Amino acid sequence: MKSVVITIGEDIEVGTFVSKFNDDNGLTGGAPLTVKDFLDFTGSSNLTNRQKIVKTYTPEEQLKWMSGADPTMIKAGIFVRVPLNKTMVEKQLIYGKNQYLKQDNFNAYFNEYQKILQSSDGYYKLESLISHIDRVSIDAQIVNLNVRVWIYSKVLDELIDVSPLVVACNTSKNMAMGAFSITLNPAKSLEFDVEYPTAVNQKGSVNTFNFTGNRDELNADYLEKYIQYNDLVFIRFERLQVEKDDVGYESGQVLKLSTLANPITDPNENPSWYRVWDMMGLVDSVDVTTNFSYTDKSISIKGRDFMKLLSEDGSYFYSYRFMSASDNRFMWMGDENSGVFKRNILTGQFEQYFLNYSLKSIKEYLGFVVNRLSNLGIISSNVFSSYGERLSKLNKVEGIDDENRNLKGVWSIIKFFFDEHINDRVLSGDLGGADGTLLELFNRICQPPFVEIFGDTWIDMFNFTVRQPPFTGESIRSVINDSANYITIENKDLLNLTLGYDTTSYAWYQVTPSDTSTGEEGKTTAANIPVVFLPQIAEVFGNKRLQISDIYLYTGALKGQEQIGDIDFISQAILNDLLFLIESFVYLPFTRKGTIQINGDRRIKVGTFIRLDATDELYYVTGVDNSLTIGSNIDRVTTIQVERGMRWDLIKGVDTGEVRMARNPRTNTVGLGFEKARTTVIDQNKTVPVRYSYFNIVNTEELRKSILENRRTGNAFNSSSMIKSDFNINEDVFEYMLKRRYL
């Protein structure tokens, strides 16, 4: 019978544990687990749960906690194994679809706001004109360069437009964090001396500022008085065709709060135009620089995007329900109705996320964490009231009523998008220690390289994308099959290229189950998990190993009551992730990475793809810097950090007409610890065509077929089998890539 390994987080009575397990998994009215069945159960272990528990007792504890031959208490920190019957499996299958998860069916995932923009025919820079002069090889490109910066001041309780004061503006974004820096001229007020129309829906201004007053005292700037830590900032560089510039000014540079929201009331409909921000963030510092030599003054505002909420906000959870009932009583010196109390004190209905023993999806865990932190909104929720029904709500989780699902403040304009493919990944046990930053909690739930999470500004929302990294062959091919999935960089926009081949390479691939899901018996499971060694990689690039501890289980692997052969569901999940690692990393030495500098293009974001026309390559974007400097010259540049640069033709695959002799599987064993199924027969004299591609370097499909065939027939993994590892590498493709015959 299948089972799940559970980490015991605190001392608990055996009867209480079994009762809670039945309640958590909906077994109370069906086929509940009994105390006797639990204590007698061994799973794939040689020890019963009874024996495991008793082994942890001291002689004194045996006298205290034994009832005949049975223990009555389970100590914290040990692992027990609980059977999964059909009722529990159906209860726990949150999104399970496939009996066995196949990585090569996974297309690249993009969030909905990103899809809206990149598929829009107006997603390009406004007023861009190319003039081809007859018989003269000169191209003139005219680009409308401007910047818009809006700031919500908590002191003023107003949204102000400081765009006319901007001297320089820089944004920097990578997968972990976004930052901005804005340099402004000083102003005595937001009522400028002269305003004049410059173009349709635009205005210019003349701003004068007296450095000193009548008694030679320094005049204070308006912004240094009213902009402070954690004020809200919106930044946009040049206007896109899909945007309009009409805004509602109440007086001077003060804006109506309603101008924040895009012109849409129904969240399921798209407006004809959008207000698209490049970065939404919170202020870190406001610094004033005064130069007495040149009688000059400037204001510098620095901050970070909403990822700041995760990196700076510490989580300190106290289980009030249990502490208040203990001998050392917990005393809360404050209002139990306050958001801080609700955020940090687990009052009972949420302790199940820390102290229960059922399987949970990534979405469930993140929903719990967001709920606990969203009580601190930083900015008043009223600021975003014009968003209407588009305001975010907490994902439905057990214990949260609909009326309590409204998110507070900044969190109301933050949305989470989940790749459907990660729905098949679940975590067992609890979150562990909850102390630390919220970013640490997020990263604990979303384990790279299997799952990635990153946040960025899209349109007028901040979106968190949780997905499987789009690095497999099927994912990359799905990107190039639709031009809306990437931004093309044309030669006319290139300023500088610094590119070189990636030096990341691994000859050994190993995935081991995490102790949180397998415990002490993980050592037994790990012995049945293959270690794939690629000697050709080692000889050329070095003998380096990629070893990952896998914290996930698959819902699909839990279906049914019996194991197939000797392959338990943990082994199946680990083997599947092993293939994912090989397919995602083995081609890296043959790809390029580096820096691309271009004329300003705000459309390019982290986690997206670009096509470089000059080299006909596809690149994955890991960092974007946008800068605008207004002085004697106007300088607008975008600098992009890229990796996994692949030639377009080698993504699709190149057929040169070459053939090779088919291998005889009976003379080769797959690097998985078992022989390939003997029912498959290949004529040794048969030739097969050679197809050159990044995703044909390793025979991952042959490995997959072998896994599925052995799983279907019930053949056991035999870790003592000889491994002939040259079966894994397509040597023709490897040599083609290594010698760069495509150049």
Residue 409 tokens read as 């403040």
> Are the C-beta atoms of residues 654 and 638 closer than 8 Å to each other?
no
What residues form DSSP beta bridges with 6?
80
Instruction: Report pLDDT digits (tens) over 447-466.
Output: 899 999 999 999 999 999 99
Please enumerate in sequence order all residues whose Cβ is within 8 A of that of 69, keeping only pairs 6 or more positions apart, or say none: 50
The answer to whether 298 touches 183, Cβ cutoff 8 Å, is: yes
Torsion 362-364-365-366 (CA) sign? positive
Q: Please, is 196 exposed, middle or buried when counting C-beta atoms within 10 Å of its C-beta (0-12, 13-18, 19+)?
A: exposed
522: helix, strand or coil: helix
Indicate yes or no: pTM above 0.85.
no
Tokens of 3: 């089972």
pLDDT of 647 > 90? The answer is: yes
Residue 171 clears pLDDT 90, i.e. is over it: yes
How many whole angstroms separate alpha carbon 531 and alpha carbon 528? 9
> What is the mean pLDDT of the segment spanning 482-487?
91
| Omega prior to 449 cis, within 30 of 0 | yes
- 3-class SS at 322? helix
Asked if residue 621 has pLDDT above 80, the reply is yes
pLDDT mean across residues, the chain: 76
- Report, as an integer, the average pLDDT of 411-424: 86
478 versus 568: the higher-pLDDT residue is: 478
User: Cβ distance 184 to 167 under 8 Å?
Assistant: yes
Q: Which of 162-176, 400-414, 559-573 bottoms out in mean pLDDT, i.e. has the lowest?
A: 559-573
Residue 106 has pLDDT above 80, yes or no: no
Which is nearest to 253 in space by CA: 274, 231, 222? Answer: 222
When pLDDT is cut at 50, 70 and 90, the band that residue 650 belongs to is very high
Radius of gyration over every alpha carbon of the chain, rounded to an integer in angstroms: 30
Dihedral of CA atoms 552, 554, 557, 562 in degrees, nearest 10, equals 50
Does the pLDDT value for residue 721 go beyond 90? no
Quick one: pLDDT at residue 601? 93
Query: What angle is formed at CA 559 by the lines to CA 556 and CA 561, rounded to 5 degrees?
Result: 150
Instruction: For residue 305, give the H/E element and its range.
Output: strand 296-305
Tokens in use for 741?
A: 């015959």
Residues 284-301, mean pLDDT to the nearest whole number: 87
Q: Which pLDDT score is estimated for 373? A: 61
Lowest mean pLDDT among 67-71, 319-323, 641-645, 664-668: 664-668
pLDDT band for position 232 (cuts 50, 70, 90): very high
pLDDT at 325: 44
**Can you give the pLDDT at residue 156?**
93
Residue 664 has pLDDT above 90, yes or no: no
97 Cα distance to chain centroid: 22
For the segment 376-386, the average pLDDT, to the nearest whole number, is 87
Region 503-532: mean pLDDT is: 65
Phi first, then psi: what are they for 456, rounded to 5°? -160, 160
CA distance 675 to 705: 12
From CA 188, how far away is CA 223, in angstroms rounded?
9
